[in-house]
Chains A and B, each alone.
Chain A
C-alpha cells in the first residue's frame, strides 16, 4: 500500500496542481478565454429573486371549448348534420343530433384521420373524447389532449415570461419549465421584484372593442373601468380583434410630434377586420381591454387597413414600454400565479458570504490545530491533505460551474470536519498494528489495508444521504448535497493518494524509528 511509482507521483501532483489552479481562477482573472469558469453563487448568496409560477389552464380550456362549439357546428353544417342544444358545462361540450346522424358524428370523432379531432399516433389517443350519454353527446379533452394543451400553454407562457422579464432588464435571468404547468424564474441581483411580479401576475387576455353609448348595440355593452380604477366607459361586447391577431407592439418615438407612441402590427385576419372596423368608426374611441380593464382607449383617427397602426397619447417611455409589452403578451389567456417567492437582498447575501467564510476559516483552523496536537507529524500530513482537498473540492465545483449556496458552504465546512475521519481510521489502525508489529512499513501497510472496508462503508453511507438530498432537495439545499457529495470523492482521493504519498515518503525515510505515530 505504501509503494508509489514515479508515474503515479507525477499524476497525483499534476492532478492536484490542476485543480488548485482551477479553484484559484475564482480569485484571479485569467486573461485568456480558455478558462473562464467560475463557481456560481446561489441566489441566497448574491441576492436576487426566486419565483415559482403556476399556470392556471382553466380559462384556456374554457376558451378552447368555446371556439370548438363554433367549429363543431360549422363542420357538421357542411355535412348537412344539424347540431342542436350545444352547450358547455364543467369542461364538457354537450349537444344533440337526430338519431340517424349519431353514428356518423361518432365516426368523425373516432376516425384516426379525422380533421376535426387530431389523432396522436405516439400516444394512441385522440385530442378529444366523445361519449354517447343516451341523453346527448358529450365531448371533452382526452388525457393526452389536456397534456398537449398544457404543454403548449406552458410554451406560450414561458415565452411571455421571458419577454416580460427581459423587458424589466435584469441580468442573466434563469427561466425554466417545471412539470407541465409551472415556470421557475430566477432573477439574480434583483432586490425588489415588485415590478416583475406585477407584470408576471397580469393575465394577458386582450381585446380591441369600440367604446359606445348605444345601449341598443346588438352585441350588448358592458361598463368597464380604466386601469386607474377611476374612469369608466361603456364598451361594446363585439370584439374587433383579440390578442391572437396581434403580431407585435413596440414603443417608439414619433419624430414629427416628439411623442412616445406604441406602434403595433396585426396578422392578416386581424388586419382585414381592423381595416373594416376602423373605416366605419373614424372618430370613435377604441378600447383596448385587458382582463376586463381598459388599458388604453385611443380615438380612431384614420382607417387602418395596412395592418399596422399606432397609439399615441401622453405616454412616458416607461408607460409606452409597459403597454407595448402587455399588448405583445396579449395572445396569452392563461393567468399566472406566483405560488412561491424567495427574495434575498444583496447586502444579506454579502453578509451570508462573509459569515460563511469566517465559519469556514474558523472551523478549518480548529480542525487543523486539533489534528496537529493529536498526531504531530501525521497531523501535519493530514492538514496539508485537508488544504489540498479543499482546493480540489473548489476546483471540481468550478469545473462543473456548480452553484454555491449558504448550506453549500456549510457542506464544505462539514466536509472539512468529516474528511479527517478516513485519515483517523487509518492512523488509529496503524497504531494498533504497531502493537504487535515491529516493522514500521508492514504496520503502515496493514493499517491502510485493514481500515479500507470501514472507510468505504462510512463514505458510502454519507454519499447515499447526499444523493437523496440532491434529487429531493430544492434550491439552497441542493447546493448542500452537491458540496457534501463531491466532498466525499475529493476526500477519498486526497486521503488515498496525497496523504498516503506523504506518509509513504515519511515512513520509508524513518523506517527504523520507534514510536513513529
Chain B
C-alpha cells in the first residue's frame, strides 16, 4: 500500500501555490483569447513557393493596414496562420488581401481556412462559454450534493475548481490560445475530474460504513489504494487516446487535446490530493455517513 496520506500537507501546499500562481497569471497576464472570443479574422494559408515565409508574409500583411497582425507557422513549413483584428469588420477584406498577395506571390498560395468573427458575435460566444462552464460546475455541485454528504461535495468542487483554474493557468503561462474547442475541453475536464473523484469517494463512503475504528486520515488512504489500479488504468487509456489526438489529429485539435491532457493529469491528481484531504480536514467520520443514512 502506498502512503498517499503522508504527503497530504505537502501537496495541499503545492496546490495552494499552483492555484494562487494561476489566479495571478489569469488576473495580470490574462488569457490569450483567439478570434472566437476577441473577434477578428484568421486565415490559414498554404504556400507552394519557398519565397513565402513568415517574414515575407508579415511584411505583406503589415502593409495592408489591418491593425495588429500575427503570422505564425502552423504545423508544416508550408502552412501559416495569419490573424488580425479587422476592426471595421469589413466583409470584402478577404478579397482585398487576396488581390494584394497575388501581386507579390502570384498564384503560389491557397487559403485553406478563413474565419471572421464580428465583435458582437465574439462577445456572445465568450458570454455563452462562461455561462456553459459556470452551469456545468453548478450542475456538478447539485449532483454531488444530492449523491453525497456536504463534506464530500465541498471536496469534489474544490478539486474541480483546482483543475479548471490550474489548466487555465497553464494556458495563460504559455499564452496558448483559448478558443471554442478549449471551452469544450474544459467542460470535459469538469466531467472527467468529477468522475475520478466520485469513484474514490464512493469507496471512501463504503469503507466508512464498514470500519468504525479507522480514522479518516487512514481510511482515505485505504480507499485511494483500493481504487488506485482503476485510477491508473483509466487515466492511462484516456491519456493514450488523447496523445493519439495530440500527435496525429492535426493542428486544429492540438490545443483541445493539450487542454484535455492537462485536465486528465490534474483531475487524477486532485481526486487524490485535494478531494480526499478536504474529507480529512473536515474530520469526516462514520457518524457523517450514518447520520445521513438515518435521515434517508
Assess whether B118 is in contact with A339, with CB atoms less than 8 Å apart: yes
B166: A residues at CB distance < 8 A:
none
Give the docked Cα–Cα distance between A424 and B111 (Å).
46
Give the docked Cα–Cα distance between A475 and B236 (Å).
30
Assess whether B92 is in contact with A359, with CB atoms less than 8 Å apart: no
One of A123-131, A213-221, A306-314, A454-462 contacting the partner: A454-462
Using A345-B110, A348-B44 as known contacts, say yes or no to A418 and B234 having CB atoms under 8 A apart.
yes
B157 contacts partner chain A, Cβ-Cβ < 8 Å: no
Assess whether A476 is in contact with B187, with CB atoms less than 8 Å apart: no
B202 contacts partner chain A, Cβ-Cβ < 8 Å: yes
Assess whether A428 is in contact with B256, with CB atoms less than 8 Å apart: no
A344 contacts partner chain B, Cβ-Cβ < 8 Å: yes
B63: A residues at CB distance < 8 A:
none
Interface residues on A, range: 35 or more
A118 contacts partner chain B, Cβ-Cβ < 8 Å: no
Assess whether B180 is in contact with A477, with CB atoms less than 8 Å apart: yes
Using A407-B256, A464-B139 as known contacts, say yes or no to A416 and B241 having CB atoms under 8 A apart.
yes
Q: What is the CB-to-nearest-CB distance from B201 to chain A, in angstroms, rounded to a whole number?
A: 8
B184: A residues at CB distance < 8 A:
407, 469, 473, 477, 480-481
B12 contacts partner chain A, Cβ-Cβ < 8 Å: no
Tell me the chain B residues, 227-261 only, with Cβ under 8 Å from chain A.
227, 229-230, 233-234, 236-245, 247-250, 252-253, 256-257, 260
Tell me the chain B residues, 151-193 only, with Cβ under 8 Å from chain A.
180-181, 183-184, 187-188, 190-192
Give per-residue flags for A458-500: 1 if the beta carbon is below 8 A from chain B beta carbons, else 0: 1111111110110011111100110010000000000000000
A338 contacts partner chain B, Cβ-Cβ < 8 Å: yes
Assess whether B199 is in contact with A458, with CB atoms less than 8 Å apart: yes
A351 contacts partner chain B, Cβ-Cβ < 8 Å: yes
Give the docked Cα–Cα distance between A460 and B143 (Å).
9
Give per-residue flags for A402-434: 1 if the beta carbon is below 8 A from chain B beta carbons, else 0: 000011011001101110110011001000100
A367 contacts partner chain B, Cβ-Cβ < 8 Å: yes
Give the docked Cα–Cα distance between A462 and B113 (Å).
32
B128 contacts partner chain A, Cβ-Cβ < 8 Å: yes
Give the docked Cα–Cα distance between A277 and B78 (Å).
62
CB closest residue in chain A, given B113: A344
Give the docked Cα–Cα distance between A420 and B234 (Å).
7
The count of chain B contact residues (Cβ–Cβ below 8 Å) is 68
Give the docked Cα–Cα distance between A337 and B120 (Å).
12
B248: A residues at CB distance < 8 A:
355, 358-359, 362
Assess whether B233 is in contact with A374, with CB atoms less than 8 Å apart: yes
Tell me the chain A residues, 153-201 only, with Cβ under 8 Å from chain B.
194, 197-198, 201
B120: A residues at CB distance < 8 A:
54, 339
Within 8 Å by CB of A417, from B116, B135, B242, lies: B242
Assess whether A465 is in contact with B183, with CB atoms less than 8 Å apart: no
Give per-residue flags for B37-81: 1 if the beta carbon is below 8 A from chain A beta carbons, else 0: 000000010000000000000000000000000000000000000
Assess whether A52 is in contact with B113, with CB atoms less than 8 Å apart: no
Assess whether B245 is in contact with A367, with CB atoms less than 8 Å apart: no
Using A421-B234, A468-B132 as known contacts, say yes or no to A343 and B114 having CB atoms under 8 A apart.
yes
B295 contacts partner chain A, Cβ-Cβ < 8 Å: no
Give per-residue flags for B109-148: 1 if the beta carbon is below 8 A from chain A beta carbons, else 0: 0111111111011000100110110011001100100010
Assess whether B191 is in contact with A461, with CB atoms less than 8 Å apart: yes
Assess whether A484 is in contact with B188, with CB atoms less than 8 Å apart: yes
B226 contacts partner chain A, Cβ-Cβ < 8 Å: yes
Assess whether B194 is in contact with A461, with CB atoms less than 8 Å apart: yes
Q: What is the CB-to-nearest-CB distance from B148 to chain A, in angstroms, rounded to a whole number?
A: 9
A342 contacts partner chain B, Cβ-Cβ < 8 Å: yes
What would 4 more interface pairs be, CB under 8 Å, given A416-B241, A424-B229, A424-B233?
Answer: A348-B112, A421-B195, A473-B183, A476-B181
- List 9 A-B pairs, minimum CB-CB distance, nearest first: A417-B241, A363-B244, A465-B191, A355-B250, A472-B132, A339-B118, A359-B249, A461-B194, A462-B191
Binding site for B on A (CB under 8 A): 44, 52, 54, 194, 197-198, 201, 337-345, 347-348, 351-352, 355-356, 358-360, 362-363, 366-367, 370-371, 374, 406-407, 409-410, 413-414, 416-418, 420-421, 424-425, 428, 432, 453-454, 457-466, 468-469, 472-477, 480-481, 484
Cβ contacts A to B, 26 pairs, < 8 Å = A194-B95, A197-B92, A338-B91, A338-B116, A338-B118, A342-B115, A342-B116, A343-B113, A359-B245, A362-B244, A366-B244, A370-B240, A410-B257, A414-B188, A417-B239, A457-B199, A458-B198, A461-B140, A461-B191, A462-B192, A464-B140, A465-B140, A465-B191, A468-B139, A477-B181, A477-B184
